[in-house]
Structure 1
Amino acid sequence: MTHPICGLNTPENEILKSILRVAKSLHRAARSDSRPHSLPVLRRLISSETFRQISLPELYRRRETIQRKHILQMLALEAGSLNWSEYKKKIKAQPEKQSLNYNLALKHAGYPNIWFSSLPEAKTYAAEQGGQPIPVGQQAVVIPSQ
């Protein structure tokens, strides 16, 4: 059976396919035995409140329970949607207005990226030190220039 969004080269399907690729990569990283790979994603899951009332060490111990749906929920929350279903509808309704930059740029978010509590703080830092500020929900991250 083919995936329902494959084969159609519409802008919204290209965005959805890109997000699903990012989610797959983040899912693999979250379940990894390598702490440098898993901890940044686990922190994002907790920060986005995809997982509530669980500590980072406990989530790390239980990382094998993380499913792709959790990663998709996290990405939706970070994009300002209530859930994956709503986020997908927004993309389909207005693909030209959806910014995919942060999903792609944050594929490897965490070390050495620097997180801030607001976008203005990230912009100030990026103006002084370099890098690309990207909003993530109410927070922001600066991706180092390459």
Structure 2
Amino acid sequence: MSSGLASSWQFWAVLSAVFAALTAIFAKVGVENINSDLATFIRTIVILVTLGLILYATGQYRNTEPISLRTMIFLVLSGLATGASWICYFRALKIGNAAQVAPIDKLSVVLVAIFGVIFLGEHLSPLNWAGVALIAMGALFVAF
């Protein structure tokens, strides 16, 4: 994966969007007849097993360097935020329409831009900010 399409962040971002869209559709059907927290738990088990198999099959489970405390803290915080997001997302899907829930969930794109500027010191051009505003407006238009 050192060259070509597979080394492009854009390629992986588009795949992420496709799988996120499928997640919404599959999850909406999946939560119809069970508790949303149980649905989230089942989804998490599937992810854990799948990632475990990927790490084992590719030999990536062998970490050659120790993981720093800072790295571990932020990975734990990320995991907690992911879990909270999934729980909220599945509850929203249980109650609402996927076509309305998903755009509101994707307001995370807007929040990432804002948080990136505030907490990570990233810089966005006026054109980037216009795009962020359009994403926010588009999400709201689709959802409501």
TM-score by length of 1: 0.28
Structure 1 or 2: larger strand share?
A: 1
TM-score by length of 2: 0.29
Of structures 1 and 2, the one scoring higher in RCO (CA 8 A, sep 6+) is 2
